Structure 1
Amino acid sequence: MNKPLTGKVALLTGAVRRSGRDAAIRLAEDGAKIVINAKTSRTLAENVVAEINDAGGTAMVHMADITDEAQVKEMIGHVAGEYGGLDILVNNAANRGHNKIVDMSFTEWKEITSIVLDGSFLCTRSAVKYMIGKRWGRIIFLGGIGPHLGYPDRCHVSTSKMGLVGLMHCLTNELAADGITVNVVAPGRIGGERAPSAGEPSGNVPPVGFVGEPSDVGRTIQFLCSPDARFISGQTIHINGGGFLS
């Protein structure tokens, strides 16, 4: 069986359920060594790791708060030391909330932006030096349909997610010569178990007539991390069944 990611190391933040979990399992099936990061959900993270290891893969958990610069540096250094480098980074960690801007505290705003945007910056900054050294890398940010449709009561989430698009565009040009591709995966309405902070799903059933599954997102991440996706960089890949037309 061809395993195109044999010898590669992948770190996925917040990948304990739904699309992140699915992507981790698929990358492991392709031969990558997997690191699951979580801040508080240790049991869920260990369940994903156990599933990968039981299937013959290699995976471990690293608990860390990605909004803490020191913890991120320690995590990336530990991963590289344990597995000999870091080739793939999937910035999946997020938090969600619903509130009108007139009622939103600055603390509430920062809670969301620090995880989605600051956390992605800190992880990416620490990870790229290992990718540059190998002249190969894959960086993926998890965006969403919300920033493109302007869902009300979610300006903190949408602003953070759209900020990832700007970060992706800049890094695409900055890191291209080092063999690193950078993309955003932007899911629409996806079914399955949701984190408590996610609340009720936004939006209607898309034109295709059904909501997506975590595997729809996981397969896209899997492909973008593969050698076959070497010519895809600087893109926002929408997975929404026609819910947003780009």
Structure 2
Amino acid sequence: MNNRALEGKTAFVSGSGQNIGRATAVQLARMGCNVVVNGSSNFAAVEETVAAVEAEGVASLIAMGDMGEEDAIRTIADAALSRFGRVDIVVNNATRRPHKPFLEMTEDDWHGVMDVALTAVFRTSQAFLPGMVEAGWGRIINFAGMKAIKGYNEGAPISAAKHGVWGLTKALSTEFASKGITINTVSPGQIRKDNKTEDDPARAARIPAGVMGQSQDIASMVGYLASHEAHFVTGQMIAVNGGETT
């Protein structure tokens, strides 16, 4: 794969202040993309991502905002389109994963997860797909999660939301495949946080590969799905989990 294969493209990565989101933003920058970097509250973390993105010789834009809020997404989209004209690659990484027994869950708990993990995918897709259709090229890459797809104990809304993301991925992939647009979902397994220097031994022991994944493992898959080489891959959920079954 050409290291600068996406030169001149623009990517939006939600929740890109740290971990998988940051690694993905930097991976796409390394491939030549300008990157719109998003965070909900930690501005310092977003600035660190921007510095890493710009070190790859591309442009960036800080777009702070809660992905669970319609107005915030509209503001982010307007800023991105005003700066770059079009967003070619959308990576819907932002999510919420609260743990609470189902019978103690409130309506606000439910909708708080759904708005970020599922409805935001609907909103970003509606915001950026028109430009992709006009260009005849685009990529939307969503996230699920091994535990969410299996069924999250005390995490009913995240499991429901991620199954919804998978359904939306399949539906949009069929609708937009003829437009040169691919839409896929990446389902990460157990990924070590970037601030951890060693794996959790108990967690690593449950993984056939014997190690936990790292953020770059997921970012590399996103980079492939965003590339021209992946033009015939659409409507798929791709597990990156060291051999654990989903």
Distance in 2 (CA, whole Å) between partners of 1:204 and 1:145 is 16
Gaps of 5+ in 1: 195-200
2:239 corresponds to 1:243: no
Q: What SS is found at the alignment partner of 2:71?
A: helix
Map of 1:160 onto structure 2: 161
Q: Please name the residue that 2:152 is paired with.
A: 151
Range that drifts further, 57-66 or 170-179: 57-66
State the TM-score, normalized to the length of structure 1.
0.92
* SS of equivalent residue, structure 1 residue 38: coil
Q: Secondary structure at the match of 2:187?
A: strand
Question: CA contact under 8 A between 1:13 and 1:90: conserved in structure 2?
Answer: yes
1:172-211 equivalences in 2 (<5 Å)? 172-193=173-194, 205-211=206-212
| Contact preservation (8 Å) 2:191, 2:213 | yes
Partners of 1:156 and 1:203 in 2: CA distance: 26
- One-letter amino acid of the counterpart of residue 55, structure 2: D
**Per-residue CA shift, 1:54-74, capped at 9, x if unaligned?**
342221211122222233222
Aligned equivalent of 2:43: 42
Paired AA for residue 109 in structure 1: W
- Paired-residue identity, %: 31
Moved over 6 A (4+): 201-204
CA RMSD across the alignment = 1.8
Relative to the length of structure 2, the TM-score reads 0.92
Q: Which residue does 2:22 correspond to in 1?
A: 21
Aligned pairs for 1:63-102 within 5 A: 63-102=64-103
Shift of 1:202: 7.9
Matched residues in 1 for 2:128 and 2:204: separation? Answer: 35
Superposed CA deviations along residues 100-137 of structure 1, whole A, max 9, x for unmatched, are: 11111111111111110111111111110111110100
Task: Determine the structure 1 residue equivalent to 2:227.
Answer: 226
Whether contact under 8 Å (1:64, 1:71) holds in the other structure is: yes
Residues 1:122 and 2:120 aligned together: no
* Residue pair 1:66, 1:123 contacting (<8 A) in 2 also: no
Change (3 A) 1:2 1:111: closer
- Shift in Å, 1:205: 2.7
Q: Is the 8 A contact 1:35 1:60 kept in 2?
A: yes
Residue 199 of structure 2: aligned partner: none
Query: Which amino acid in 2 is paired with 1:129?
Result: P
- Residue 74 and residue 202 in structure 1: after superposition, are their counterparts in 2 closer, same or farther (change >3 A)? farther
**2:68·2:112 contact (CA, 8 Å) conserved in 1?**
no
Separation in 2, partners of 1:154, 1:204:
23
Distance in structure 2 (CA, Å) of the matches to 1:50 and 1:113: 31
In structure 2, stretches of 5+ residues that fail to align are 196-201
Task: Give the count of matched residue pairs.
Answer: 239
1:84 positional shift: 2.1
Displacement of 1:238 in angstroms is 0.2
CA-to-partner distance for each residue in 1:136-169, whole Å, 9 max, x for gaps? 0000101100133223111111111111000000
Deviates more, 1:149-158 or 1:223-232: 149-158
